Chain A
Amino acid sequence: MLSTAVWFCLIAMLAMLVGQGGYVWLYLRSLQRPAVLAVKGSTFQPPVAVLLCIRGRDPSLEACIKALDQLDWPDFEVFCGFDSEQDEAFGFVTELRASLRRPVHRYVLEHLPKTCSPKCAVLSELVESLHERFEVVAFVDADCIVAPNWLKLLVTPLADPGVGVVSGTRWFEPPAGMAHPLGTTVRAIWNAAAIVQMHLYRIVWGGSMALRRREIDELRLADVWQTQLCEDTCLTGLLSAEGLRVERPPALVVVNNETTPLRSVPDWISRQLLTIRLYNRWWPLVALHGLSVGTLTPLVLATTSVALVSGVLVQSAVMLVSFLAYLLGSLLLLAWIHAANIRFVDADGQLRSRPSIIRDWKFWLMGVPVTQVVHWLATVNALVASSLVWRQVRYRLQGNRIHIESLARYAPDLEPTQNSVH
């Protein structure tokens, strides 16, 4: 019996490593496109509206807006959307505008439906209110500090009429001497692995994306967003139905250096997975991967422990060595993804210290099994979730629809609430 379990674990680890290696190989192959060269020679420079949806004063809000002010695109305007004028960030942005080179417009939500998140409601009204001269609409999150060439990389691929949306790649790079080493590293590991699936399943990231105005109008996205939790994940299906593709320029990597405690990571991952469950047809594969990866580590450790307690030292030693080899193999795959992305980060000057996977390799090695277990928990949570608390708003889930249950607009006396998925 024990011998069968040992063989099963060994074969499962090998199969998992080979399978994940295949995924990473496919992802890296897709990066071999001369997209950067195409951007350099492009003359496509339409007027762009940059939409930034704000709720509360995020720590990186000021840096985000200042980075947008430094963009090297010839014709663009920034629009900050709020769900309430009471938001402290509204006053902050008003004050900050005086120190900026370019005008930053403010927009406050008029009507908040119960069927979408405040963010989607703001974006829905904002795109409808934009002047007709804007041919392209770009979206950015408040925790993204973009490089000066961000719009160049984001908008230029839209010159190809076959491209429906251009999406950036989110990259979490743990800073040196981070406050929460394990939590921050686990989120970075999870995200690095998720990039592969996002790329292969064409999942769009709204923190850095752009669409032509024509598609926004033709697909009636303003109406679609009135029934959505997030503005990005639903786009893949809508655009592919029109024969349009998702473009993900390899050089469009947006770095986030914020730290996070480990206790916040499972809910954050659950929310990311929940949006896939709600709006992406590849969810069964994503869930299957999460469940199998997360099951393997505890199974291997349990089998090793039983072998050790039973006094079968050879088998327990083989299991331990194999598990270490499996972890090292996983770390090498992560290093491969890391190295392929970090070049662009370096080129933009956003990463000035030594890369975390080299500097903190022990945390990365330790973080791999922790991430696998956290990913399993988050996948189960996303599978069975029926409600969600996100930025002080409680939602009830009905199929792939959402309904706001309590509190929607931002209020200054709001008690901070932990984001959670139930």
Chain B
Amino acid sequence: MWSTRLWMVTGVLAVSLLAVIPAAVSGQEPGWYPRVIAPPEMRPLIQATPMELRPYRPMHFWGNTVRRMHYRNNPLPLPRDLANTSTSLLRAVAPPVPPGLGWSRPGW
């Protein structure tokens, strides 16, 4: 029962990831994935994705800077990035993230 649920959650997260990649490939800035540490099942998929195409994540200092340089030609965070980080961190310590949320689109 637990195993089935785990597979379902992983599947939903993976589909969310795949859904956000085309947006990034087309030059659109990726959204935020509100988790500091990704679930182990997601790691192979994340590692197979180029750094610029991965979504922003709270506390991912190096990767977020690479993405900001890629999409904005600006290494410094904007106020909305700080707000997204805070919101993501709050979500991480508050109730669990609904699996369907996955990696959000720009403007999340």
Contact = CB atoms under 8 A, between A and B. Distances in A.
Contacts of B105: none
B74 A339 contact: no
Contacts of B61: 332, 335-336, 339
B76 A342 contact: no
Interface string A315-346: 00000000000000000100110111011000
Contacts of A36: 73
7 contacts: A28-B76, A32-B75, A32-B76, A336-B65, A339-B63, A342-B66, A343-B69
Contact of B73 (A32, A339, A355, A357): A32
A51 B75 CA distance: 33
Nearest to B76: A28
B108 interface: no
In the complex, which range does the number of interface residues on chain B fall in? 10 to 19
Given A335-B61, A357-B62, A25 B73 contact: no
Interface of A: 25, 28-29, 31-34, 36, 332, 335-336, 338-340, 342-343, 355, 357-358
Interface centre among A33, A34, A336 (most CB of B within 10 A): A336
B33 to A, nearest CB: 18
A358 to B, nearest CB: 6
Interface string B71-90: 00111100000000000000
A292 to B, nearest CB: 25
Question: Which applies to chain A's interface (DSSP): helix, strand, loop or mixed?
Answer: helix
A339 B69 contact: yes
Nearest to A358: B62
A339 B76 contact: no
Contacts of A357: 62
Contacts of A33: 73
A285 B76 CA distance: 25
A146 B66 CA distance: 22
A336 B75 contact: yes
A109 B70 CA distance: 45
Contacts of A339: 61-63, 65-66, 69, 75
Given A25-B76, A335-B65, A343-B66, 20 more contacts: A28-B75, A29-B76, A31-B69, A31-B75, A32-B75, A33-B73, A34-B73, A332-B61, A335-B62, A336-B62, A336-B75, A338-B62, A339-B63, A339-B66, A339-B69, A339-B75, A340-B75, A343-B70, A355-B62, A358-B62
Interface in B34-77: 61-63, 65-66, 69-70, 73-76
